[in-house]
Amino acid sequence: MSTVKHVEANAAQHDEDAISSYLNAHPDFFERHSELLAQLKLPHGVGGGAVSLVERQVSVLRQRNDQLEHQLRDLVEVARGNDELAGKIHGLAVLLMSAGDRQQVIDILEEQLRMEFNADRSVLVLFGGDSTQSAQFQRYVERDAPTLGSFKSFLEGDTARCGTVRDAQRDFLFGAENCEIGSVALIPLGLGSKQGFLAIGNRSADHFHPGKSIDFLSRLGDLVAGALAR
């Protein structure tokens, strides 16, 4: 008995596939047989009852339209955010070009990251220099310092990185007491992080997620590296 049901099920599936293929190959079928549209009834998705094929098509089109409108709104928001960020980077570039010396470059960068880029915490790590001149924002350290061990793979690359911050990285950058930093963007300064790197921390673990676009972060790194090299 089960074998008969299995054969019948396969035959029914074959018939459905054949009908589906035919309709796909002849999209004008219902135009040539418009009387069928009024006869076809489909179960309503909510609350039971039945609706005509035309009503179901209208409902599907409305749903797709709502989805497209939602996607469009998302794209517009992303475009606005990118325009705003581009404007801030342009403003930072103008200020950095007017800086009189290296320390002024650093001071301008710290202020702009805090006020315009809404950085919860940021640290500029520079290789070499006098470590006694280190402060909360600027940090001078030798590239081969053991404290940079947790940044090894990042320093060997040439691209910005985003993600959750590891304990060793958080302790070095922000101090063990700043456990509220959940994610960080690491931005190399110069090819192979020759001059150092910039770290921007955010309290949210999802803010600097690995899938975040790094285009603007890379531009920021190039800008800062160029200003520091002057």
Do 113 and 213 lie in one domain? The reply is yes
H-assigned helices in the chain: 2-25, 29-32, 35-39, 53-97, 102-115, 152-155, 167-174, 215-229
For residues 216 and 75, what is the distance between their CA atoms, to the nearest angstrom?
A: 17
Do 108 and 204 lie in one domain? The reply is yes
Q: What is the pLDDT of residue 40?
A: 65
- Output the furthest CA–CA distance in the chain (Å, rounded): 91
Do 123 and 17 lie in one domain? The reply is no
Do 51 and 106 lie in one domain? The reply is no
Is residue 92, in this structure, part of any structural domain at all? no
Do 223 and 152 lie in one domain? The reply is yes
Do 120 and 44 lie in one domain? The reply is no
Is residue 79, in this structure, part of any structural domain at all? no
Do 120 and 220 lie in one domain? The reply is yes
Do 107 and 157 lie in one domain? The reply is yes
For Cα atoms 56, 13, 36, give the angle at the middle one, nearest 5 degrees: 35
Tell me the residue range of the domain where 199 lies: 99-229
Question: Domain total for the chain?
Answer: 2
Do 163 and 213 lie in one domain? The reply is yes
Do 225 and 115 lie in one domain? The reply is yes
Q: What is the pLDDT of residue 52?
A: 61
Give the up-direction half-sphere exposure of residue 188: CA atoms within 13 A in the CB hemisphere. Answer: 18
Is residue 69, in this structure, part of any structural domain at all? no
Is residue 181, in this structure, part of any structural domain at all? yes
CATH number at residue 220: 3.30.450.40
Closest CA to 104 of 95, 116, 113: 95
Is residue 91, in this structure, part of any structural domain at all? no
Phi, psi of 202 (to 5 degrees): -135, 145
* Number of Cβ within a 10 Å radius of residue 189: 25
Do 111 and 169 lie in one domain? The reply is yes
H-assigned helices in 128-214: 152-155, 167-174
Do 145 and 32 lie in one domain? The reply is no
Is residue 14, in this structure, part of any structural domain at all? yes
Is residue 89, in this structure, part of any structural domain at all? no
Q: What is the pLDDT of residue 94?
A: 94
Is residue 106, in this structure, part of any structural domain at all? yes
Per-residue pLDDT of the chain (230 residues; tens, 9 = 90+): 555 555 456 666 678 888 888 888 887 877 777 677 666 666 655 555 555 666 767 777 888 888 888 888 888 887 887 888 889 899 999 999 999 898 999 999 999 999 888 789 999 999 987 766 777 899 899 998 999 999 999 998 889 999 988 888 888 898 866 668 889 999 999 988 999 999 999 888 888 888 887 889 999 999 999 999 87
Instruction: List all residues 6 or more positions away from 188 whose beta carbon is below 8 Å from its beta carbon.
Output: 154, 155, 157, 158, 159, 160, 197, 221
